[in-house]
Amino acid sequence: MDLDAIREYSALHAKPNGLVLQYGTAGFRTKAEHLDHVMFRMGLLAVLRSKQTKSTIGVMVTASHNPEEDNGVKLVDPLGEMLAPSWEEHATCLANAEEHEMPRMLMDISVKAAVNLQQDAFVVIGRDTRPSSKKLSQSVIDGVTVLEGQFHDYGLLTTPQLHYMVYCRNTSGQYGKATIEGYYEKLSKAFMELTKQAFCSGDEYRSLKVDCANGIGALKLREMEHYISQGLAVQLFNDGTKGKLNHLCGADFVKSHQKPPQGMEMKSNERCCSFDGDADRIVYYYLDVDGHFHLIDGDKIATLISSFLKELLLEIGESLNIGVVQTAYANGSSTRYLEEVMKVPVYCTKTGVKHLHHKAQEFDIGVYFEANGHGTVLFSKAAETKIKLAKELEDKKREAAKMLENVIDLFNQAAGDAISDMLVIEAILILKGLTVQQWDALYTDLPNRQLKVKIADRQVISTTDAERQVVTPPGLQEAINDLVKKYKLSRAFVRPSGTEDIVRVYAEADSQENADSLAHAVSLAVFQLAGGVGETPRPGF
């Protein structure tokens, strides 16, 4: 390690004194102007991680659904997974070291993590469309270069596309070609093959309206359009030519406000969906004939997909175990439907893709989705082998096995991916001849409400049981229990956000009015028992 060169280059990406940031649920995330040193240092860290794992490591520059002025960075581990927890700690230490301590911190990390500094390193880099992203990704490259790592800059990519590239490169191309064309070819081929047996691909299935949140999803869907145009015509809205990224549009806006994005022309009963700013989330929705808005969130996506997979497994006669993984935010109706009607086991983990992903790996087929639209399906190697063998069986089984193989190819197994999820959903709707209303009618969501509460130190709230129960401060869980008892079909929980300096409150109940009133009462309890600051939460939204 050339410590003098590191010092010299680091000074060009100097850390503002006293700034402390945390590698959170989805990496570092804050105002773009505070991130230059973090980017440089993450370039350095990616080189160490690459040397240690003897694999290609990814660095993605994005702040996903957050405002355009923000930015962020996260590292992608060799199999396209989120960074290992011990390295999240290294990332936090390195990002927060004051300028003069930084080279020593880098050495400390290499020693602690037993990095062989002689090993070669390779880093791939992607970025979203934010105005700040280009310069920030250049700072990542500076960090990689000063440690003499090699790199490939993919430029503009969705987050899941970068995960895909990392996975391809570390499996010697077995998973697919590590190029943008490779990604489009793999997905579109699986989509076209899967849908070609469909009897009813009439006009109502041909066209889909997509709100791209004025982000990278628009650019990439446009590039992909002609690969899939025979099966699906996508009509893009909020494509970044006019509006601001994530502003009044995108999956996060639609899910949290439970209303259509601006800039989208919706007619009744038309199938529409929204991506978020880096295209790793998707939610669907439509307006009914009375103009009422219906949201189809990650829970209903998981339900559609798992029922389709269950049917195919029945056809091939293989006893592969399938499990659905959700978080506490999953609507109670979805959990009940999956367990009681579909007889699929459901598990709950903490919020954040890495937790769901980890749990889903325990099954032959693990379906995981957060209610907010992050998710995918993971197939174990054993499941892939059994499905491959089933192709040798008699006709009907062979067909089902072939379809399952295409489903495996369609899902980006490295990460939840709005584009690949969209293609799977569209294929299932076509194959089953389901309209968006029929899909929505699988079950009725319980009315729910999410609120934010500002408190002095959100760390005073600790939780257990996959964030469904509060442990500290004392008395808060008892207060929530008493409030929940006052309503029917009710449930509520609170958790400190991993991405914002606030506490999140979730409540559901038999009517919207009751869900709203329970959410407000719980917010008050948090405010009073956990050190609320500013104005006392008021009823009404």
Asked if residue 229 belongs to a known ligand binding site, the reply is no
Residues of span 35-64 touching ligand 16G by CB under 6 A: 64
Binding of ligand 16G by 500 (CB under 6 A): yes
Binding of ligand 16G by 499 (CB under 6 A): yes
Q: How far apart are CA 383 and CA 389, in angstroms?
A: 10
**280-319 footprint of ligand 16G as x/- string (CB under 6 A):** ----------------------------------------
Binding of ligand 16G by 370 (CB under 6 A): yes
State in angstroms the smallest separation of the CB of 6 from ligand 16G. Answer: 30
Asked if residue 495 belongs to a known ligand binding site, the reply is yes
In the bound state with ligand 16G, the residue whose beta carbon lies nearer, of 24 and 143, is 24
**What string of H, E and C letters represents the secondary structure of 377-443?**
EEECHHHHHHHHHHCCCCHHHHHHHHHHHHHHHHCCCCCCCHHHHHHHHHHHHHHHCCCHHHHHCCC
Question: Choosing from 50, 64, 334, 420, which is the catalytic residue?
Answer: 64
Binding of ligand 16G by 351 (CB under 6 A): yes
In the list Mg ion, ligand 16G, none, the entry touching 490 (Cβ below 5 to 8 angstroms by class) is: none
> Residues 6, 39, 353, 422: which binds ligand 16G (CB under 6 A)?
353
Element (H, E) at 251: helix 251-257
Q: How far apart are CA 102 and CA 94, in angstroms?
A: 7
In the bound state with Mg ion, the residue whose beta carbon lies nearer, of 160 and 532, is 160
Binding of Mg ion by 201 (CB under 5 A): no
Residues of span 47-86 touching Mg ion by CB under 5 A: 64
Binding of ligand 16G by 497 (CB under 6 A): yes
- What is the tally of helices (H) and strands (E) in the chain? 19, 19
Residue 120 sits at φ, ψ, to 5 deg, of -70, 160
CB 322 within 8 A of CB 310: yes
Look up residue 46 and give its amino acid.
Answer: A
Look up residue 118 and give its amino acid.
Answer: Q
Asked if residue 498 belongs to a known ligand binding site, the reply is yes
In the bound state with Mg ion, the residue whose beta carbon lies nearer, of 26 and 344, is 26
Binding of ligand 16G by 129 (CB under 6 A): no
> Residues 70, 276, 405, 421: which binds Mg ion (CB under 5 A)?
276
DSSP 3-state assignment of 533? coil
In the bound state with ligand 16G, the residue whose beta carbon lies nearer, of 149 and 416, is 416
Closest of 283, 287, 268, 280 to residue 211, by C-alpha? 283
Going 103 to 106 to 111 to 115, the CA torsion angle's sign is negative
Q: How far is CA 242 from the centre of its chain?
A: 25
> Residues 498, 512, 528, 531: which binds ligand 16G (CB under 6 A)?
498
CB 402 within 8 A of CB 390: no
Asked if residue 371 belongs to a known ligand binding site, the reply is yes
Catalytic residue status for 64: yes
Element (H, E) at 504: strand 503-508
In the list ligand 16G, Mg ion, none, the entry touching 499 (Cβ below 5 to 8 angstroms by class) is: ligand 16G
C-alpha torsion 33→38→40→41, nearest 10: 170
In the bound state with ligand 16G, the residue whose beta carbon lies nearer, of 26 and 228, is 26
Cβ neighbors of 226 (< 8 A, separation 6 or more) are none
Contacts with ligand 16G by CB under 6 A lie at: 25-26, 64, 351-354, 370, 372, 374, 497-500, 504
Residues making up the binding site: 64, 276, 278, 280, 370-372, 495-499, 504
Which residues line the annotated binding site for substrate?
Answer: 370-372, 495-499, 504
Instruction: Point out which residues bind Mg ion (CB under 5 A).
Output: 64, 276, 278, 280
Binding-site residues for Mg(2+), in ranges, read: 64, 276, 278, 280
Task: Write out the catalytic residue numbers.
Answer: 64
